[in-house]
Amino acid sequence: MELTIQQGDLAFCAGKALATVATKSPMPLLSCLLLEADKSGLRVVGTDLEVTTAVRAPCSVSSPGRVAVAARHFQEVVRKMPRGTVALSLKGERCEVRYGDGKGWAEFPTQNADEFPKLPELKGDGNASLAGDALARLLERTSYAASSEETRPQLNGILVQGGDKGLSLVATDGHRLARALLKGSYGGISREGVIVPRRALGAVGRTAEEATSAVEITVAASRNQAGFAAHVGEFRVEIMTRLLDGPYPNYEQVIPKDNPYELSVSRVDLMDAVDRASSHADNVTRQVRLALRKGRIQVSSSTEVGAGSEDVAATYSGEDMDLGYNATYLMDILRTLATEQARFRLKTPLSAGVVEPVGALPQNGEEMLCLIMPLRLPDAAG
The domain that holds 38 is classified in CATH as 3.10.150.10
Q: What pLDDT band is residue 200 in, cutting at 50, 70 and 90?
A: very high
Percentage of residues in the chain having pLDDT higher than 70: 99
**pLDDT tens-place string over residues 212-228:** 999 999 998 778 899 99
Last residue of some domain: 251, 269, 288?
251
Q: What pLDDT band is residue 187 in, cutting at 50, 70 and 90?
A: confident
Q: How far is CA 300 from the centre of its chain?
A: 31
- DSSP secondary structure letters along 261-276: EEEEEEHHHHHHHHHH
Q: Considering the domain boundaries, does residue 205 fall inside one?
A: yes
> Do you find a cis peptide bond into 247, omega within 30 degrees of 0?
yes
Alpha carbon distances (Å) from 51 to 90, 219, 330, 374: 27, 14, 30, 35
Q: Considering the domain boundaries, does residue 188 fall inside one?
A: yes
DSSP annotation of 282 reads -
Structural contact between residues 312 and 265, judged by C-beta atoms closer than 8 angstroms: yes
Q: Which residues is 369 bridged to in the sheet?
A: 179
Range of the domain at 65: 2-115
Residues 54-71: what's their mean pLDDT? 96
15 and 105 housed in the same domain: yes
Q: Which residues is 171 bridged to in the sheet?
A: 178
Which pLDDT score, from 0 to 100, does residue 382 have? 46
134 and 109 housed in the same domain: no
| Radius of gyration (C-alpha) of the chain in whole angstroms | 25
Percentage of residues in the chain having pLDDT higher than 90: 85
Burial of 309 (0-12, 13-18, 19+ CB in 10 A): middle
Which pLDDT score, from 0 to 100, does residue 317 have? 83
Which pLDDT score, from 0 to 100, does residue 25 have? 77
Show Cβ contacts of residue 88 under 8 Å, excluding neighbours closer than 6 positions: 1, 2, 3, 4, 5, 10, 35, 37, 95, 96, 97
The rounded mean pLDDT for the chain is: 93
134 and 110 housed in the same domain: no
140 and 242 housed in the same domain: yes
Which pLDDT score, from 0 to 100, does residue 256 have? 94
181 and 232 housed in the same domain: yes
Which pLDDT score, from 0 to 100, does residue 220 have? 86
259 and 227 housed in the same domain: no
CA angle 326, 331, 334 (to 5 degrees): 130
Which of 38-47, 77-86, 110-119 bottoms out in mean pLDDT, i.e. has the lowest? 110-119
Residues 101-124: what's their mean pLDDT? 88
Q: Considering the domain boundaries, does residue 121 fall inside one?
A: no
pTM of the model: 0.91
261 and 355 housed in the same domain: yes
Q: What pLDDT band is residue 146 in, cutting at 50, 70 and 90?
A: very high
Residues 242-271: what's their mean pLDDT? 94
Last residue of some domain: 66, 82, 115?
115
180 and 260 housed in the same domain: no
Number of domains in the chain: 3
**pLDDT tens-place string over residues 293-335:** 999 999 999 999 999 999 999 999 899 999 999 999 999 999 9
